[in-house]
Amino acid sequence: MGGAPFSRREAMRRSIYGSAGLLLMEPIGIQAAPRATTIAKDGKAKSVIQIWLWGGPCHIDTFDPKPEAGREFTGALDQTLETNVSGIRIGQLMPQLAKCADKYSLIRSMTHGNNGHETAAYLVQTGRASERDVFPGLGAVVSYFKGYDAGYKGLIPPYVVLTQPQGRFSEAGFLGPRYKPFATGGDPARTPFAVEGIVTPDISEEHQKERRKLMGSLNTLGGALPGNATLKTVVESEQQAYELILGDAGKLFDLSQEKDEMRDRYGRNTFGQSCLMARRLVEKGVPFITINYQGWDTHKQHFQIMNRKLPELDQGLAALLADLSEHGLLESTIVWCTGEFGRTPKVANESPWNGGRHHFGKCFSSLLAGGGFKGGQVLGKSNATGEEVAERPVYPADVIGSIYGQLGIPADAPLPHPLGTPTLVVPGKEEKVPMGGLLKELI
């Protein structure tokens, strides 16, 4: 991928304003891509929650521990936990996940070999490494096959990101802005959760209503043009917007409607409450939700940061799996937890890192649960130090293609490539995308 047109990290830090507009994305407003005739069928899975560990978590501190490899690999985290599935052990900081290993499977042989944040993220989000054109990420593809074009009617957009967008090469690519995610902004752990465009903390509901009234009575042009079709569209659009601002649709984001015990169970932090929010979105039928969980790029102070973050991840994710299961939603909801790569198994103890880990795309782990995927399994294997894939390499395209399959999107469903190049959701042989095969072992 050398020389591919990828940006500096700065360029990825996009402001999120404007994404409020992605709420209510109706067929009007932004043109749909030309529709393929293949319409996705109903699959076992109806929704996907993608937990994106931005920056890349270390596989051997989490889902692929190597206590035998010695301290130069394990650092201080040299213990493991037995799970409720015999033969599966995970990292010592994840006791809650250890109690529910029957609900998820682990892939310990993820690989793509790329160590750049943007390029690796692009690979893991799209399954492809194309330099010629920008492919859409899986959220946008799901939005294309399961969103408004496929009869989705929700006021909440079909592809939601909690809370910040993942950046330029993890989005809609050549499908165009209509399939971009709606990034909520705000923080679900704060009251109120200031969802961009919907919840405005410094304008009270009363004030919103007064303003709306004022706006209506000042519409002098509307008065001069009664019955004008263009202005009718404006009024209808406005009504829908207010459904979110003042109506019931927007209440979905009001987490105070959940019992305190429920909120505590997930953990009163941004990640935990994002998991709870994701469950509420799934209940409403939103087909794709990404939790963009930042802060995993630990070149320095790796172990201090893990001691802080892994308990959050453990609690939030375990609560999400249990809660989905109790609501009868786990069978129809895929949960995929992954970073763009792993981190170097050997700890960088030298200065200036003093106990850090670097990027590692050669071998890493992902967690996959629900939506018809089996639980309690381990797929693939890394070597004794976690530096090489030892068995059954799994490439991003394998996971993404399998997720499509569970959603009822056939592997040969065409994507509308702007040059008319025949392009399928799962790369065909002629694309020469490295693949290890769809995850039949977990289906």
Phi/psi at 107 (nearest 5 deg)? Answer: -110, 115
Task: Return the number of other C-beta atoms located less than 10 Å from residue 367's C-beta.
Answer: 21
CA–CA dist 167, 11 (Å, integer): 8
Handedness of CA 76, 117, 11, 167 (dihedral sign): negative
Q: How far is the CB of 24 from another protein (least distance, A)?
A: 4
- Under rule CB under 8 A, residue 443 binds another protein: no
- Under rule CB under 8 A, residue 231 binds another protein: yes
- Under rule CB under 8 A, residue 205 binds another protein: no
CB under 8 A: which stretch of 46-54, 106-114, 208-216, 386-394 binds another protein?
208-216
- Under rule CB under 8 A, residue 86 binds another protein: no
CB under 8 A: which stretch of 51-59, 94-102, 176-184, 377-385 binds another protein?
176-184
Instruction: Select the residue interacting with another protein from 228, 256, 304, 349 (CB under 8 A).
Output: 228
Q: How many residues bind another protein (CB under 8 A)?
A: 70
> Which C-beta is closer to another protein: that of 128 or that of 362?
128
**Contact assessment for residue 436 and residue 393, using Cβ atoms and an 8 Å cutoff:** yes
**Contact assessment for residue 122 and residue 6, using Cβ atoms and an 8 Å cutoff:** yes
Residue 13 burial (CB < 10 Å; 0-12/13-18/19+)? exposed
In the window 294-333, what residues touch another protein (CB under 8 A)?
Answer: none
- Under rule CB under 8 A, residue 97 binds another protein: no
In the window 21-80, what residues touch another protein (CB under 8 A)?
Answer: 21-26, 28-31
> Which C-beta is closer to another protein: that of 151 or that of 214?
214
> Which C-beta is closer to another protein: that of 210 or that of 326?
210
- Under rule CB under 8 A, residue 437 binds another protein: no
Token pair belonging to 384: 């004794």
CA–CA dist 266, 347 (Å, integer): 31
**Contact assessment for residue 321 and residue 99, using Cβ atoms and an 8 Å cutoff:** no
Instruction: Select the residue interacting with another protein from 9, 35, 41, 207 (CB under 8 A).
Output: 207
CB under 8 A: which stretch of 33-41, 131-139, 264-272, 386-394 binds another protein?
131-139
Instruction: Select the residue interacting with another protein from 42, 220, 260, 430 (CB under 8 A).
Output: 220
> Which C-beta is closer to another protein: that of 17 or that of 354?
17
> Which C-beta is closer to another protein: that of 17 or that of 82?
17
CB-based burial, 378-408: b 16+ in 10 Å, e otherwise: bbbebeebbbebeebbbbbbbbbbbbbbbbb
CA–CA dist 58, 77 (Å, integer): 11
CB-based burial, 72-109: b 16+ in 10 Å, e otherwise: ebbbebeebbebebeebbbbbbbebbbebbbbbbbbbb
- Under rule CB under 8 A, residue 5 binds another protein: yes
For the chain, report the end-to-end CA distance as a whole number of angstroms.
Answer: 32
β-partners of residue 90 are 81
Instruction: Select the residue interacting with another protein from 219, 257, 307, 354 (CB under 8 A).
Output: 219
Closest listed residue to residue 138, CA positions, set 273, 38, 47, 39: 47
In the window 393-422, what residues touch another protein (CB under 8 A)?
Answer: 418-419
Give the DSSP H/E element, type plus range, for residue 224: helix 220-224
In the window 144-173, what residues touch another protein (CB under 8 A)?
Answer: 168
> Which C-beta is closer to another protein: that of 23 or that of 399?
23
Site of interaction with another protein (CB under 8 A): 5-8, 10-12, 14-26, 28-31, 132-134, 168, 174, 176-177, 180, 185, 194, 196-198, 200, 203, 207, 210-211, 213-215, 217-222, 224-225, 227-231, 233-234, 236-238, 240-242, 244-245, 418-419
